[in-house]
Amino acid sequence: MRKSRQKTNNMCNIPLLESAIQLIEKYKNYPECKKNNVLLPVISNQRMNAYLKEIAYLCGINKKLTTHVARHTCATVVLLANEVSIENVPKILGHSNAKMTHHYAKVLDSSIMRDMEKVRVNFKI
C-alpha cells in the first residue's frame, strides 16, 4: 500500500501483514469509513487511551497503557525483536530520521546476543 504520512505528508510504502489486509477488507464497505474516506473506523487518541486504561484495569496490568506506549512496544518487541533493521524502523514508524527512532527503540539483550552470535560464527571462534 502506498500513502502519504499525515504529519509530514511524505509518501511511503506500507507493506501489510495478512491480518491487516483482512481488517481493511472487513471495513471497506463500513459507512463511517466511506463517509470519512478512511480504511478503518478511527477514534481519537484520547478515546483510545481511555479504552486502553480500562483494558489494563480489567487485565490487572499496572502499567499505564497509551497509544504512545504502543509505539515503543511496536519498535522494541515487534520490529527489533524480529530482526527488522534499525534503518527500516524509522520508516515504518514515520520518523524523518533514525535519531528519533532511538528514543523509541530500546536495545534488546536478545538482539545483542543474536548479533554477537553472528560475529562468533563469522570468526569461527
Say which residue the cell 473506523 belongs to. 41
How far apart CA 34 and CA 41 sit, in angstroms, is: 9
**Each residue's pLDDT tens digit, 57-98:** 999 999 999 998 888 888 888 888 788 888 888 888 877 777
Closest CA to 79 of 99, 102, 100, 105: 105
Side-chain half-sphere CA neighbours of 49 within 13 A: 10
Residue 105: pLDDT band (50, 70, 90) is: low
Q: Which three cell numbers stand for residue 113?
A: 546476543
Q: Report pTM.
A: 0.61
Using an 8 Å Cβ cutoff, are 111 and 76 in contact? Answer: no
